[in-house]
Structure 1
Amino acid sequence: MSESTDTKPEGASLHAPLARLLRPLVRLLVARGITFPALTDLLRELYVNVAEYDFALPGKEQTDSRVSLLTGIHRKEVRRLRGAGAPVSVVPAVVSRTSRIIARWIADPAFTDSQGQPLPLPRTADAGAPSFEALVSGVTRDLRPRAVLDEWLDRGLAFTDARDRIVLAEAAYVPRGDGSGEPQLYYFGRNLHDHIAASVANIVGDTPRFLERAVHYDGLSKELAAKLEARAREIAMEALQQANREAHAACQTDPGGAYRWNFGVYVYAEAAPPARPADER
């Protein structure tokens, strides 16, 4: 009996989705001068790290031979790379501080109006009254509110109105810049990690554990795509602000622990080439 020529290697079904997933990342790597050999070195280290820690057998010591078998990397290289530890994503101080202050400004009833929008704040005010000084001091005592304000005004995260009140700019909700800034790159890694991790957990788990859905339409005019993108931004911001308000309120009575939670959304539109018939692929 001859072996079927239709048999696909294990994992072959992942090739097409992986190519689609990796294409924009490769575009970023090429644009930033990260070469293929440099990426190969990183992937080799990650393969060893994941096999060593995520695929260890209960009650058994993970061996170089098993890591080599799982990864296809020579045992000599495995021995060199083992124990390096998983790359740690340290939250930049500016990201942690800024995100906590903004989260409070758009969630705490003391600093929002009746519609839940962030109030314009005077620089200072009497005790118990909302002010930018009270907002910052309630989050951190390590920095003077004036220093935070100067930084925000310089970065365009806030501006002053005609009454010299501090107003939160829309730009404060999303890190902006040329892509080289520390906050933007931090969120790039964290948010993509969590989205991919949720998708992978749903694939390898017995039942889908995380919500991971999208609404999508093809064959649209440029005008309709732009209109839907704008409306989707409005809907997304409403959902994010509501989630932030509820999470902020719940944290006031939470005893704390080792878990973290992330709720994210994305909106994307592009001019896509028409799909080819299956017999032409």
Structure 2
Amino acid sequence: MARSEHIDISGAFLRVLRGLLRPLVRTMIARGLTAPVVYSLLKRVYIEVAEESFRLDDKPLTDSRIALLTGVHRKDIRTIRTEGTDETGASRRKSALLATVIGQWMSAPDFTDATGTPIMLPRQVDGGPDFETLVRSVSRDVRPRTVLDELQNAGLVTETPDGLLQLEADAIVGTANAPDKEAFFAANVGDHLAAATENLLAETPPFFERAVFYNQLPPEAVDAIETAARAQAQAMLEDLNRQSSALHRDSKDAPGPRQRYRLGIYFYREDTADADQDEKAQDP
């Protein structure tokens, strides 16, 4: 009986998973990723997750145990484990560093004017706010010149004829640069999915995750809601950025463990089928 219930649950979840994968597969095809390439990547991720989250007594898993958990052949497991990890973590850390620098520039009192607008900064000066001080306030592990190059390449920072650095509007609304958009896609969707996964697997959902949705609204009504949502969400994010920046500065030298957080907001709209078409689709 237990086996039958397990099969029913798995079958239901496969249908859920199919819905989740459809937009992701659309992105893969648009980026030229074929199914065999994704199969290879999926095997690697299965192995990595098994090693990270399914250890017994904090001991490394054997190839046989990973094969049992994942269904990946032991030969493939041995090959993948000898190849080591990829650079996803490093790419994510770089993206987080750049975002934190921009966040400080948009909110820290030393780098904003009386209205809260980011000021233009010299690269380096004595006795005043400059770009080097901004970067050093976030991290001393990366050279300010390296951070500046990344921001300029992404079009988020420009230099005026008199040598001042200016934060561009794209730093707030996002860049059109493909690699940066992909990094944001990975981090933003990845954290949302991680939160949703924890909420699904835990008896008591640990993370805030809510949505409001309506069907059968005229397009002009959705236009009004989207306009309001953009304004309210942007105001909330900017306020939380100011709070986070102040807390970051106040606790920079405090001892103890560190954590990161991400609050994401999205809005999605699409055409819905006519009511009679919905009813026909539900007929056996």
TM bracket, shorter-chain basis: 0.7 to 0.9
| Cα separation, 1, equivalents of 2:99 and 2:224 | 29
Q: Is 1:260–2:260 an aligned residue pair?
A: yes
TM-aligned CA deviation for residue 249 of structure 1: 0.9
Contact 1:229 1:269 in 2 (8 A): no
Query: Who is 2:107 aligned against?
Result: 107
SS in 2 for 1:206: coil
| Cα separation, 1, equivalents of 2:196 and 2:224 | 28
Deviation per residue, 1:165-202 (Å, 9 max, x gap): 865433212432253x2x22111111111100100101
TM-aligned CA deviation for residue 155 of structure 1: 5.1
Contact 2:155 2:175 in 1 (8 A): no
SS in 2 for 1:231: helix
CA gap of 1:21–1:252, structure 2 versus 1, over 3 A, is same
Structure 1 runs of 4+ off > 4 angstroms?
Answer: 5-8, 83-87, 122-141, 150-156, 158-161, 163-167
Query: Who is 1:71 aligned against?
Result: 70
Query: Who is 2:28 aligned against?
Result: 29
CA gap of 1:134–1:143, structure 2 versus 1, over 3 A, is closer
| Cα separation, 1, equivalents of 2:193 and 2:132 | 39
Contact 1:125 1:131 in 2 (8 A): yes
**1:50-69 correspondence to structure 2 within 5 Å:** 50-58=49-57, 62-69=61-68
Q: Indicate the larger mover: 249-258 or 57-66.
A: 57-66
| Cα separation, 2, equivalents of 1:59 and 1:154 | 43
What is the alpha-carbon root mean square deviation over aligned residues?
3.7
| Cα separation, 2, equivalents of 1:54 and 1:68 | 15
CA gap of 1:269–1:38, structure 2 versus 1, over 3 A, is same
Contact 2:107 2:241 in 1 (8 A): yes
Query: Who is 1:221 aligned against?
Result: 218
TM-aligned CA deviation for residue 33 of structure 1: 0.9
Q: Is 1:14–2:32 an aligned residue pair?
A: no
Q: Is 1:205–2:208 an aligned residue pair?
A: no
SS in 2 for 1:34: coil
Query: Who is 2:241 aligned against?
Result: 244
**1:154-169 correspondence to structure 2 within 5 Å:** 156-157=155-156, 168-169=167-168
Contact 2:51 2:60 in 1 (8 A): no
TM-aligned CA deviation for residue 18 of structure 1: 1.5
TM-aligned CA deviation for residue 40 of structure 1: 0.5
TM-aligned CA deviation for residue 66 of structure 1: 2.6
Could you tell me which runs of 5 or more consecutive residues in structure 1 were left unpaired when the two chains were aligned. none
| Cα separation, 2, equivalents of 1:100 and 1:230 | 27
1:280 paired residue among 275, 280, 283 = 283
Q: Indicate the larger mover: 189-198 or 152-161.
A: 152-161
Deviation per residue, 1:219-273 (Å, 9 max, x gap): 1222222222222111111111111111111112322634222222222222234
1:184 paired residue among 181, 185, 188 = 181
CA gap of 1:62–1:134, structure 2 versus 1, over 3 A, is closer
Letter in 2 for 1:280: D
1:193 paired residue among 190, 193, 196 = 190
TM-aligned CA deviation for residue 129 of structure 1: 5.5
Could you tell me which runs of 5 or more consecutive residues in structure 2 were left unpaired when the two chains were aligned. none
| Cα separation, 1, equivalents of 2:152 and 2:177 | 18
Contact 2:64 2:74 in 1 (8 A): yes
| Cα separation, 2, equivalents of 1:203 and 1:158 | 40
Contact 1:158 1:169 in 2 (8 A): yes
Deviation per residue, 1:62-118 (Å, 9 max, x gap): 333332222222333333334655544213787455423321122112333455x32
Query: Who is 2:143 aligned against?
Result: 142
Q: Indicate the larger mover: 202-211 or 268-277.
A: 268-277
Structure that is richer in helix per residue:
2
SS in 2 for 1:212: coil
Q: Indicate the larger mover: 241-250 or 8-17.
A: 8-17
TM-score (norm 2): 0.77
Contact 1:49 1:84 in 2 (8 A): no
Contact 2:92 2:187 in 1 (8 A): no
Contact 2:120 2:165 in 1 (8 A): yes
CA gap of 1:47–1:154, structure 2 versus 1, over 3 A, is closer
| Cα separation, 1, equivalents of 2:163 and 2:82 | 55
